[in-house]
Structure 1
Amino acid sequence: MRIIMLGAPGSGKGTQTQLLSKYFYIPFISAGEILRQESKKNEKTKSYIENKINQGKLVNNSFIINLIKKKIKKKNCFNKFILDGFPRTIKQAESLKKHIKMQFVIHLKISTHNILNRITGRLIHTSSGRTYHKTFNPPKRKNKDDLTGELLSKRKDDDKKIIITRLEEYRKLTTPLIDWFKKEDLKQNVKYIEINANKSIHEINKKIILYINKNNKK
């Protein structure tokens, strides 16, 4: 099972990815988490990645493509994974298509108003990438990760000005990508569905699972 999660920052991709990973017992690959781990390797890489993230911009296509390909080739991810945050461009999608057969593309659609509400209250467990929200998905203990008890934090790019830049960047690059996936769906190369992400976490998750179970070829 190979699932790609599409959606603007704050659409709930991270939360739904984690829920689907548990439900289907398959690993998830977070492009954002891969970049955060990569930034720890040396100061030059750290500076490059952090500058891009803090500006609300995307890293170079070849840079992220190589990182994702390495991850997908690992034994625990080969032929079964959920991709969160990749691909973001047609070039990235075409590169991915050369290496694997994509199965499902889940596009979470959400209003800008709800995006701003969600992101400004978001909390992150840095080492694992687990996400929470102060209002919509709070941790069991205030500001602490449910599994480790470690303190949660806010991402530096969860600033309103940066969020707006990220949304503009996302729409500019992803609108053509969505059209590309719709064409791939017509060619029966992938199954594409749009989900109303303004709903509750439970409603969204239930609809995605029903769709995948109905369309998954054994």
Structure 2
Amino acid sequence: MSLRLGVLVSGSGSNLQAILDASREGRLDAEVRVVVSDTPDAYGLERARRAGVPARVVPWDPGRPRQEHDRAVVEVLRAHGVDTVALAGYMRLVTGELLAAFPGRVVNIHPALLPAFPGLHVHEKVLAHGAKFSGCTVHFVDEGTDTGPIICQAVVPVRDDDTPETLAARILREEHRIYPQALQYLAEGRLRVEGRRVFLDPPSPGSGTLHNPSVRF
């Protein structure tokens, strides 16, 4: 089933661009119907306009309830015939208003290997804890902070000379690969959720074991 996507952005929208590119190239059976931002100057809006996709702003007002903001977002998404919502660098926790409007159809990408390191300042936390691997996670969204069922992940080694910036750049390349793939699994109807686990039907083979530093024996 082709997805009718609404993409929510707050910043540069590089994952939005990956989704647009995958759709244009036929790797993702989806049409981006609208891009919505809580930030008027988000570059993701310009990416949408360049692709001929409607770009809308629902400005964030800290003085009004989050539920009210999400109701306005839902109105925009429904007006454009959206059936699936992809968060792509969207810096707001969504509420039940959005989740109830698109049950089981809201996904997000996070630049760490959940459930470790949810929230903000992820790469700084990874380096401060001395983790040997990091990566990114595509997951279904619930009302928690990066707590929804995990669809897929990509792993990258943490190098001894990494900074938050170099680690972020290496992970971002993997984000651009796995987000369109996860959405394609959803379009194909291959994702089955049981409790907190997401199964891919039919399953794909694993790629083996990773070690960092290398195991010599």
After TM superposition, the score normalised by the length of structure 2 is: 0.40
- TM-score, structure 1 as length reference: 0.40
Task: Say which structure is richer in strand.
Answer: 2
**Bigger CA radius of gyration:** 2
Q: Kindly indicate which of the two structures has a greater share of residues assigned to helix.
A: 1
